A and B are shown apart, each in its own frame.
Chain A
Amino acid sequence: MFALPALATLAAAGGFYAMLSGMRRGSFDPRGVPSALVGRPVPEFALAPLPGWDKPGLSSADIAATARARPVLVNFWASWCVPCLVEHPQFMRYAAEGIPVFGINYHTGTQTDPGATAWLRRHGDPFARIGIDITGRVAVDFGVYGVPETYIVDRTGIIRWRMAGPITPEIDAEQVRPLLRSLS
């Protein structure tokens, strides 16, 4: 009985160690919020195109139609978001390889994105279609909590993967590519 506190401490320390080593490996992240949408169909929506930009708008029907042929990436982004710029070259590469990438321009109640077209002009436009989410409502339907966030939709229109934060070359190689291969 006197050994009980020591044993409990040992167990707790083991747990903490598992957390810390998980944090180093990336398998345990106390800050990230998992998506509730993975394994579920793409929410219904229809968004208008970005004004002054020569790309059609985006709806869930567009995603479903394209996804029937091959998996689709849906990317929430904004021009004021620096990590979006970090992952931007990655999306240019996907576009060049013919992987369909759809963009949703992210707005919130406090932050609109007047610089979106200038940003695309300057850095290039990887998106096949761009919808503008003026009310932030579609983002909430997707469970987005910040930009950038990227979703992968499989051929049956089910969301298979979500990344909160930029898609770095490591994440591309370790997660995106294998998933795209297995889905197509």
Chain B
Amino acid sequence: MRALLLALLLAAAPALAIPAKAIVDPREMLPDPAQEERARAIGKELRCLVCQNQSIDDSNAGLARDLRRIVRERVAAGDSNEQVIAFVTDRYGDYVRLTPPLNAVTVALWASPAIVLAFGALAVLAFYRRRRAIAPPPPLTEEERARLARLSAE
């Protein structure tokens, strides 16, 4: 039954199966180029929910189009970028944000690069410190010096 349902779902929703024929319709665009550029930038921050790992700016799915239109409406109405994103997040949750917001859940994520780098740097420091403790090799013996001289002469 499960498998059948899944097959039906896939057959029913060609929009789900099309990963990308992304091409924005110019008729959607805002007349003001500055506003249009903002709308594109906002679109790149919002995840297309039906197409997995694409922004709505990259997708031609129906929902992505609807969201693009709403983004442009809000931009034209004078909303700031944050307000537009908040408008969509209010309806679809943080899941739609391609840049995760900083909160209790994501603080570890945002801190991870610094933590990893600091941890790595400490490990490297410890490595050098231990290495300094190791005594340098004993000076060369006369015989070795002679051999070295022979070798470098070759």
Contacts and interface: CB of A to CB of B under 8 A. Distances in A.
Interface of A: 31, 33-37, 80-84, 86, 108-111, 135-137, 139-143, 145-146, 165-166, 168
B91 A146 contact: no
B79 interface: no
A141 B87 CA distance: 9
Interface residues of B, number: 27
Interface string B6-47: 001101110110000000000000000000000000000000
Contacts of B98: none
Nearest to A82: B12
Nearest to A168: B5
B49 interface: yes
A9 B109 CA distance: 19
Contacts of A83: 5, 8-9, 12
Contact of B66 (A33, A86, A109): A109
- Judged by DSSP, the binding face of B is helix
Contacts of A86: 5, 8
Contacts of A139: 66
B15 A145 contact: no
B62 A136 contact: yes
A140 B9 contact: no
B68 to A, nearest CB: 8
A108 B8 contact: no
Given A82-B11, A83-B12, A36 B92 contact: yes
Contacts of B52: 31
